Amino acid sequence: MNADQGTSPSQPPTIYDVARVAGVSIASVSRVLNGQRNPRAETRERVLQAVAQLGFVPDQAARALSARLKEVVGVVVRRPQWYDSSAFADEDENLQFPDMINRGMEFVAQRHGFDLLIRTVDLDEPDAGRHIFGLARKSDGLILHDRVLSPEQLDRLARQVPVVTLAGAPTPTTANVHGDNYGGMRELARHLIHDHHYRTFAFLAGHEGSPDSLDRGQALADEVAASGATLLQGEQWRGSYQATGGAQAITRLIADGVALPRVIACANDQSAMGVLYALALHGIDVPGEVAVTGFDDIPVARHLRPQLTTVRQPIQALGATAFETLYSMIGRTDPGQDARGRDIALPTTLVRRESCGCTPEDRSPVFPPRAPALPADPNTRQAD
Amino acid sequence: MNADQGTSPSQPPTIYDVARVAGVSIASVSRVLNGQRNPRAETRERVLQAVAQLGFVPDQAARALSARLKEVVGVVVRRPQWYDSSAFADEDENLQFPDMINRGMEFVAQRHGFDLLIRTVDLDEPDAGRHIFGLARKSDGLILHDRVLSPEQLDRLARQVPVVTLAGAPTPTTANVHGDNYGGMRELARHLIHDHHYRTFAFLAGHEGSPDSLDRGQALADEVAASGATLLQGEQWRGSYQATGGAQAITRLIADGVALPRVIACANDQSAMGVLYALALHGIDVPGEVAVTGFDDIPVARHLRPQLTTVRQPIQALGATAFETLYSMIGRTDPGQDARGRDIALPTTLVRRESCGCTPEDRSPVFPPRAPALPADPNTRQAD
DNA sequence: CTGAAAGCGCTTACAG
DNA sequence: CTGAAAGCGCTTACAG
């Protein structure tokens, strides 16, 4: 008899419809739905009944406008850049790492009723910054992966909305979350130097200016210097955090007739994948002739041949921590004891597999679980 | 002198601020920003000037409420389920496939000014459905990965908001997008049967009831039957679309002393990864003793040893097509010639690598590009 | 405990 | 071409 009967997409019911059916005011409907000020049992009952009958779910744009809270966090991921953009439009290469971080964010975000608005930006694009400011107006706060804004833009953005960066550096108005790059690479370097007695090294860097890459490279350089070993240097050891970048760098070095070092320590696992690929193509044995290591311990690292020795970052925890940090900044007007300005480092662990020259003693018949992927919920006594 | 000067997070400017600074009405501001009804050059000039000066960006919640368009699409991804949820909390295993699809969606979504609100749902959770309906009120439409709703729920949802499914089945009120599962697996099966002359097969299925898995299994079964070869059957050949599921299935079969078939065709690449892993653990040579194949051609497939023979799906195009289809349904009240009820299949291609027994002739020194990942923009004459 | 009303920040007929 | 005003669907002081 009414419009709701048709099969065509009818307008969803509004709070007015619920109020009418329940015979109460919209204020009462709002109150029972938001658990405010204990409505009378009967009122509550009638409202709930009407809500169920109509299948009412509040429109979140209206709610956001009124409550000044969207319950949405914007996430900006950097789109990989290419040396040769036409031949390698295969951007999916490095999907894994940022996506695992996002998964960690999402997990904790859900516990707070938040959703993630994900946006990939191409830094080559002229107004990448404008898109990020636009995203900010669809969200309550922003999490930025890996340097997507200039310091000036970042400052201007952080003045309008809470911002947390990943793999960046904290500013007075933003917080930063990262893995313990220096400590992780130091542990790996010591293993290579003292346990394996390797003497010549190269660090295949990530993209230019990346703080993660800088810290990792510095740790390796320091340990190599301390032990009197040799570190090859130069722009030819610049990668891109991608498999293609790693493969191309090695291919070029070999083509140029450069003597390879005993160890190639890569800025991340993706690069190492490309390096392994290129070395295999040229018949160079890993780890027999050249040892290769990564950083991150993305899930595929253990599926490579040889299995990749790497430094495990608590990838999902990075995302979870970034979200929790941002969440603590949202809706807070007092710039008092909040997270702004903090630099949060999460511990890493060395994972020795085969590509460094180790022989794993015990291989479990199934995949080793990636222990505590996420921190316990600090806001809940009991997991639900 | 005014509040904007401080370093504390000040309120972003509103359209009223812009109107005041420009000396015009908010209606005029709105008009120049939305390109409506050609405002006078001088008006336009003053507004733009004020906008730039204040760094004004419209609040999207307010815009959404007023314009009845959020420019947000909700994407629901299914969270993997585990046989043993405690030991394998390593959910990142199958991240790649859905995330690549999402990347394809995002790419075209950006061209329309849309963002993606991504939500992972745990089907074991009691009210997974409620969360999806909640997501719907934050979006203009929903894209559902791989069966996350019962047919009844789906119908109720589709009545309120446009819905496109991936790897599902179309309904009178929803559209579905999928790869050509049957055709792809048929081509692979014929290659295995007629080129390699294999005679015993097993199909490691995906999770129960998955239309993708069903279609792929059926294609294999049909070809095997047509050639008089043998297909092993039974619940022990049930996987989960995850590497862990594949590894466990094989480990269990071997423990049970079951004779392995000459070929294990897996429902997807992730499962094949786990199968390769488990076979290697038991010293079984691939493809010498057992050939293994996948489906999807996710980027790591070529990095496995042996390189994985598989059926390539146009993964990002699946996402892009899903978005375009949904987009065509948004804001459309006439249920006329729209996409509802359509089932859109995208072509697949066989990728012969090593795991089936082939020897790749030419390996390019770099990664072969994944040709046209995305369809051209039908709404733009010239790529920008 | 509950309702009438104001207000969140926009867009868009409606007049002029 | 432009402004005053209504309205999008909620939440939340403010009265009662």
Considering the domain architecture, whether residues A198 and A307 belong to the same structural domain is answered as: yes
Nearest-CA residue relative to C1' of C3: A25
Mean pLDDT of A356-369: 59
pLDDT higher than 90, residue B221: yes
Flag the least confident range among A166-175, B148-157, B179-188, B369-378.
B369-378
Write the CATH number for A325.
Answer: 3.40.50.2300
Mean pLDDT of A70-90: 67
Mean pLDDT, chain A, integer: 86
Separation of alpha carbons A372 and B159, rounded Å: 41
Higher local confidence (pLDDT), A2 or B337:
B337
Burial B42-81 (b: 16+ CB within 10 A, else e): ebbebbeebbeebebbbbbbbbbbeeebbbbbbbbbbbbe
Rounded-to-integer distance, Cα A138 and Cα A109, Å: 16
Contacts of B226 (CB under 8 A, 6+ apart): none
Q: Give A120-185 as a DSSP string.
A: EE-TTSTTHHHHHHHHHTTSSEEEEES--S-HHHHHHHHHHS-EEEESS--BTTBEEEEE-HHHHH
B252 inside domain: yes
- Residue-wise pLDDT for A199-253, tens only, equals 999 999 998 888 999 999 999 999 999 999 999 999 999 998 888 888 899 999 9
End-to-end, the C-alpha distance of chain B in Å comes to: 42
A67 lies in a domain? no
Residues B190, B173 share a domain: no
- Do B32 and B43 contact (CB within 8 A), yes or no? yes
Among the residue ranges A34-38, A81-85, B192-196, the one predicted with the least confidence is A81-85
Mind listing the pLDDT tens digit for each residue in B144-185? Answer: 998 889 899 999 999 889 999 998 889 999 999 999 999 999
CATH of the domain at B39: 1.10.260.40
Q: What is the pLDDT of residue A333?
A: 59
- In this predicted structure, the answer to whether residue A369 has a pLDDT above a threshold of 50 is no
Identify, with chain letter, the residue nearest to nucleotide C13 (CA–C1').
B27
What one-character-per-residue DSSP string does A359-375 give?
--S---SSPPP----S-
Give the model confidence (pLDDT) of B61-115 as tens digits: 999 999 999 999 999 998 866 533 322 344 445 557 888 899 999 999 999 999 9
B308 vs A249: CA distance, rounded Å: 25
Chain C nucleotides with an atom closer than 7 Å to a protein C-beta: 1-5, 7-13
The answer to whether residue A368 scores a pLDDT higher than 70 is no
Residues with CB under 7 A from strand C: A 24-28, 31, 37-40, 42-43, 62, 65-66, 68; B 11, 14-16, 26-27, 29-31, 33-34, 36, 56, 58-59, 62-63, 65-67
Q: Are residues B102 and B220 in the same domain?
A: no
Cα–Cα distance, B168 to B175 (Å, whole number): 9
Same domain, B185 and B277: yes
pLDDT digits (tens, 9 = 90+) for A146-165: 888 989 999 999 988 999 99
Q: Within a domain: residue A359?
A: no
- Report residue B84: phi and psi, to 5°: -125, 95
CA distance A225 to A231: 8
The structure tokens 């009804």 sit at B37
Bigger pLDDT: A46 or B335?
A46
**Mean pLDDT value of segment A345-351:** 96
Higher-pLDDT residue of A331, A326: A326
Q: What mean pLDDT value characterizes chain B?
A: 86
**Residue B155 domain flag:** yes
Amino acid B81: pLDDT:
60
Task: Measure CA B332 to chain center.
Answer: 24
Predicted local distance difference test score (pLDDT) of residue B340:
84
Cα B364 to Cα B341: distance, rounded to the nearest angstrom: 43
Check: CB of residue A117 under 8 Å from CB of residue A75: yes
Please check whether residue A51 is in contact with residue A121, taking contact to mean a CB–CB distance below 8 angstroms.
no
| Together in a domain, A114 and A226 | no
Confirm whether A363 is domain-assigned. Answer: no
Q: Is B295 exposed, middle or buried (0-12, 13-18, 19+ CB in 10 A)?
A: buried
Tell whether B294 and B326 lie within a shared domain. Answer: no
CA distances from B22 to B1, B25, B45, B51, B54 (A): 19, 9, 9, 8, 11
| Three-state DSSP state, B89 | coil
Residue A224: both structure tokens together? 């190599």
Pick out the nucleotide with least CA–C1' distance to B26: D3
Which H helix or E strand runs over B117? strand B115-121
Based on the fold, state whether residues A88 and A173 are members of the same structural domain.
Answer: yes
**B364 to chain A: nearest residue by CA?**
A281
Two tokens at A11?
A: 């307008």
In a domain, B167, yes or no: yes
Task: Please give the tally of structural domains in chain A.
Answer: 3
Same domain, A13 and A92: no
Which residue range forms the structural domain that includes residue A25? 3-58
Question: What is the enclosing helix (H) or strand (E) of A324?
Answer: helix A315-329
- My answer on whether B138 and B211 are in the same domain is no
Pick the last residue of a domain from B269, B292, B314: B314
Q: What pLDDT shows up at residue B333?
A: 59
**DSSP alpha helix (H) spans, B161-210:** 181-190
Nearest protein residue by Cα to C1' of nucleotide D7? B66
Chain A and chain B share a number of CB contacts under 8 A equal to: 236
Q: Identify whether B128 is part of a domain.
A: yes
**Cis-peptide into B13, omega within 30 deg:** no
Q: Is residue A353 part of a domain?
A: no
- Same domain, yes or no, for A143 and A229? no
d(CA B26, CA A340): 34
What's the average model confidence in pLDDT over B331-346?
77
3-class secondary-structure state, position B284: coil
Residues B155 and B96 in one domain: yes
Residues B220, B206, single domain; the answer is: yes
Nearest CA in chain B to A298: B92
d(CA B349, CA B314): 9
